[in-house]
Amino acid sequence: MDGFGGFESFLVNADVLRSLYGHVPGLERVRVRSVHLNWRGPTVTLRLDLPGFPESPPQEWADAGMDSVQCQFAFPAVEPLVFAQWEPPAVGDLRAVPFGGERRMRVSVGGTGVDLRFECAASVVVRHVSAFRRGPAGADGGPHLFLNRVDSLLFGSLPATHRKVFYER
């Protein structure tokens, strides 16, 4: 179960991505936008750009000319953690391998500008799925259209990193 194909079984809400793509897309060569460490859990949350845009996106996304999809993956019960490199812009492969008898997995994100490894519970949540139009040099600072109705009411773009309602819940 190396790579994202086997990892799909660990997603609590894989249907969110299946509704957009018809499947859960692979996570090779993804742009890692942020890594959030939360002592509660403890949890690691990765915010990243998915590698492709859906062939049949929501009409609102198509009408707005969006061309990229971003989301968060929240990994609970993390320990141990090794964060050896962070030099944005970071592009890498997310890989997960199950191990042990307690529904745990080993996760790694490695590539250009990023080297992150940890073990966690095999119960990952997809959060804050949004579409945006990639700016110069891959920037994501413009408007975001969120898939979730509550997110779309709360946010029109990425909130500041201190907004716990976005980065920690």
- pLDDT, position 121: 95
- pLDDT, position 63: 98
- pLDDT, position 3: 40
- pLDDT, position 9: 86
Please tell me whether the overall predicted TM-score, pTM, comes out greater than 0.75 for this model. Answer: yes
Report angle CA 115, 117, 119 to the nearest 5 degrees: 170
- pLDDT tens digits for the chain (169 residues)? 344 447 788 899 999 999 999 999 999 999 999 999 998 889 999 999 999 999 999 999 999 999 999 999 999 999 999 999 999 999 999 999 998 878 899 999 999 999 999 999 999 999 999 999 999 999 999 999 999 999 999 999 998 878 888 877 6
Backbone angles phi, psi at 159, to 5 degrees: -75, 165
The residues spanned by each domain of the chain are 4-164
- pLDDT, position 169: 65
**Structure confidence by residue, pLDDT tens digits, 53-75:** 999 999 999 999 999 999 999 99
